[in-house]
Structure 1
Amino acid sequence: MSALSRDDVAHVAMLARIQLSEAELDRLAGQLDQIVGWVGQVNEVAAADVPPTSHPLPLTNVTRPDEVRPSLAVEQALAAAPMAQEQRFAVPRILDED
């Protein structure tokens, strides 16, 4: 017997604002029931002595300290720009203003 009924799937679809046909409700009820079963299997395997992890390998964030360094002058930055206006990069308008 399926743990998720067709009505459960219809309720979730309504909450997600998804319109499903009768055939889709029947098909998804079985598929979602299988997914819930697989999640249950994972929960059975999880041991209390194994800490939860987000990644199988230890990760460390590689960052560098922020250091103030000299940057390009405005003229240098705009030297290769196809268009510049008022010391800024100029780009073609893509939205009309109403």
Structure 2
Amino acid sequence: MAISRTSRYQRNETALVPDRNGQLQLTVMQRLPVDQSLRVSDYRWRAAERVDAVAAQYYGSETSWWMYAEANPRVLDWTQPPAGLQIMVPRGVA
């Protein structure tokens, strides 16, 4: 199973794990959290802006919006963020 480079699971490992019927299934394994320092930029959401467009602007990939979603857990719905919403956009390990 290849994990896409834009996936939020790109750094996870995979393993064969038996399901409830004893059949081995290739599974994405959970990673333990690690301490890290991130450089972040503050960003204020504009009206009619889309999550994929902001991700493309900051990360070069429309599917990488999960990176700023993970950094802003207080935002529960990313389908239509309200104009004026202030978020942190992580830029990599410092």
Question: Shorter-chain-normalised TM-score: which range?
Answer: under 0.3
Q: Which has the higher helix share?
A: 1
Q: Which has the higher contact order (CA 8 A, sep 6+)?
A: 2
- TM-score relative to the length of structure 2: 0.21
Q: Which has the higher strand share?
A: 2
